[in-house]
Structure 1
């Protein structure tokens, strides 16, 4: 275990050896655009499942696995790709461009895929490059602003993630309906290529823009505070997606809403995500732990309310919106906590993305397991509540030390 670190959340003086700015640089927004491109590609399959199922001659369930293949590449391949770039001592900006280039290649593979196997391969390649891109994007982001602005800068970068289900996924679905599924995947190729170009031109490469070596990065992972932060992040995302993954059948079969209401609810949820992310980003640096505690408390209450009153439309919809406002929107605070627990190098951030994806997968799997076990459609909501309460427990030692100090 690494040596003990300060109990407060104040930035370390060692954090000052990067480029800093008192204002949000344009480069931060360009990084957000790149995140938008890779995240849209991750979730776009959900909007074009019928077309892909017919074209590739497989079931809708097998098309759903294409999302899992992306997540698998992101969870396992992202950190491995990052480790390779660290071992080769590739500068951060150059590493980011290499990964974006790999993402373009993976996107081309999906666009030209003649069968399901090639499509799955392209999705894995996309996932690997996406996982690495997230880690390095956040590292570059941290290098461009002062430590007290990192949470706000992260919220701008992650706004790309929040906007993808609101703008990107519906757009690719519309392209599919108008021009076919291949056009949807080619639109991602174009978007990724444009992102690569603007990052190459608009994101500065400083004299200090060199990735930490692999040995230093691995040493940083021997930090108990870092793994505690990872655990909380995983539980937050797991709690949120345990509920979100099954909201459609809950609303249509329990609440009694029509299928036509689902896209509207999804859009409202997406707007709540974007708004919550930007608000949390404003305060994440100064109130990291209070935001996590307060957010998890409200999230737990919303999940319990949704589970108990799923048959009452007004209450169920209000609870669902609350989950959108206080779930994944804690991302800037989660990232700020990780960046204070350890120096924000690419491996630290790539592993953070990996554990978040793992939390998403576990929450979704556990929710489905509850349904299959015969506990009904509210089972995922109770699973989410359990994970949210575990998230609060993971923060209890930290909060107690803060009070004691």
Structure 2
């Protein structure tokens, strides 16, 4: 595997930690800014919507830039957003900072497109799993440590840590990413014909639905875990770390399964497991070991779907991979935002321990999309030619 993929993994570790750490410290955040828990949860919504809207636009605007400059821009925007959030004295300023961070999250789409262009088609799953390994490690390391720091020293401390880490990654990328690195450039030429294909639309819809399912819970993961089994900040951090380690296992096994069994068979198994765990989680209330086992299986299934989904898109059209992957990221974050909004609207009407049941219908609909996938699919580029 090209060594630069491991640098991309580190960058995704920083981005994942900064993006999702607030989910574990919403209580001190809401108390500090004097807003409700549901309102504080919309920090996730702002980040998600900004990523969904701004990342594809920035991918297009920087299409002719050297890939190194694109990566530098993304990390600069993300780090600047972290600084604005850390300085926030009210919810409005916090949301503005999260929007800036969301723009910087264009890094993930740019890195994914580069990853698939640097390896042979048979190695795409592994390349993508390495690139996204940092995102899952963020749940094992960044989010738990950030949650502990947030409870012990105030919510701004992990946000400042994210800002510093973003600066370090910017320096590292400026030093190690080759100036002449090239990949498929985003272009609207021929994109419309590809984007209208049912195979592409199904992948985007599936991403939207299963992230709605996941983030109906994980936008409020800290309060949900406390509702299931009251725990200290240290215990909460350990629980999040275990979930993150399961995510690491899921990311690696998802890449392996994609290359071994293909994306559709892998996704079918992963979605069945995810929906099952969403049904079971509320039933583990008062039983910490059962909650932990459920979260581990959830993490393996949820993180495991990233490589097959992205590999499926890249396989449909290598020429349009940058835009297809960027818009898949948009669906990911729109799903994240909708999941947070839907579950947030039900807080007060539904016990927090039962929040995962809200996402079950969306997980089932995501599973349903696989029923329309052909057994063998030709790349759309080949069909067009």
Matched, 1:26 2:12: no
Matched, 1:334 2:309: yes
* Corresponding residue for residue 266 of structure 1: 240
- Counterpart CA distance in 2 for 1:42 and 1:31 is 16
1:323 CA drift (Å)? 1.4
When residues 111 and 382 of structure 1 are mapped into structure 2, their CA distance, relative to the original with a 3 A threshold, is closer
The alignment's C-alpha RMSD in Å is 3.0
- Counterpart CA distance in 2 for 1:31 and 1:67 is 23
When residues 391 and 51 of structure 1 are mapped into structure 2, their CA distance, relative to the original with a 3 A threshold, is closer
When residues 317 and 36 of structure 1 are mapped into structure 2, their CA distance, relative to the original with a 3 A threshold, is closer
- Is the CA contact (8 Å cut-off) linking 2:38 and 2:344 kept in structure 1? no
| Residue among 78, 89, 113 paired with 1:103 | 78
| Residue among 43, 48, 51 paired with 1:71 | 48
When residues 189 and 364 of structure 1 are mapped into structure 2, their CA distance, relative to the original with a 3 A threshold, is closer
| Residue among 120, 139, 142 paired with 2:116 | 142
Q: Which runs of 5+ in 1 are unaligned?
A: 1-23
1:156 CA drift (Å)? 1.2
- TM-score, normalised to structure 2's length? 0.84
- Counterpart CA distance in 2 for 1:362 and 1:92 is 31
1:29 CA drift (Å)? 0.6
- Counterpart CA distance in 1 for 2:94 and 2:339 is 26
* Corresponding residue for residue 187 of structure 1: 161
1:213 CA drift (Å)? 2.8
1:162 CA drift (Å)? 0.9
Higher mean alpha-carbon deviation, 210-219 vs 284-293, is at 210-219
1:50-61 paired onto structure 2 within 5 Å? 51-53=28-30, 55-61=32-38
- Is the CA contact (8 Å cut-off) linking 2:113 and 2:321 kept in structure 1? yes
- Three-state SS of the structure 2 residue aligned to 1:339 is helix
- Is the CA contact (8 Å cut-off) linking 1:36 and 1:163 kept in structure 2? yes
- Counterpart CA distance in 2 for 1:164 and 1:207 is 26
* Corresponding residue for residue 326 of structure 2: 350
- Counterpart CA distance in 2 for 1:35 and 1:237 is 18
Matched, 1:35 2:12: yes
* Corresponding residue for residue 361 of structure 1: 337
- Counterpart CA distance in 1 for 2:114 and 2:246 is 27
Matched, 1:80 2:57: yes
- Three-state SS of the structure 2 residue aligned to 1:215 is coil
* Corresponding residue for residue 211 of structure 2: 237
Map Cα deviations across residues 71-93 of structure 1 (whole Å, 9 max, x no partner).
1211212222222223xx22333
* Corresponding residue for residue 267 of structure 2: 292
1:175 CA drift (Å)? 4.6
1:315 CA drift (Å)? 4.5
Map Cα deviations across residues 279-302 of structure 1 (whole Å, 9 max, x no partner).
221231332111101111222233
- Is the CA contact (8 Å cut-off) linking 2:12 and 2:135 kept in structure 1? yes
- Counterpart CA distance in 1 for 2:20 and 2:196 is 33
1:361 CA drift (Å)? 2.8
- Counterpart CA distance in 2 for 1:109 and 1:306 is 36
- Counterpart CA distance in 1 for 2:99 and 2:312 is 29
When residues 33 and 381 of structure 1 are mapped into structure 2, their CA distance, relative to the original with a 3 A threshold, is same
Q: What is the number of equivalent residue pairs in this alignment?
A: 373
1:350 CA drift (Å)? 1.3
Q: Which runs of 5+ in 2 are unaligned?
A: 378-385
| Residue among 175, 179, 185 paired with 1:211 | 185
> Over alpha carbons, which structure has the higher Rg?
1
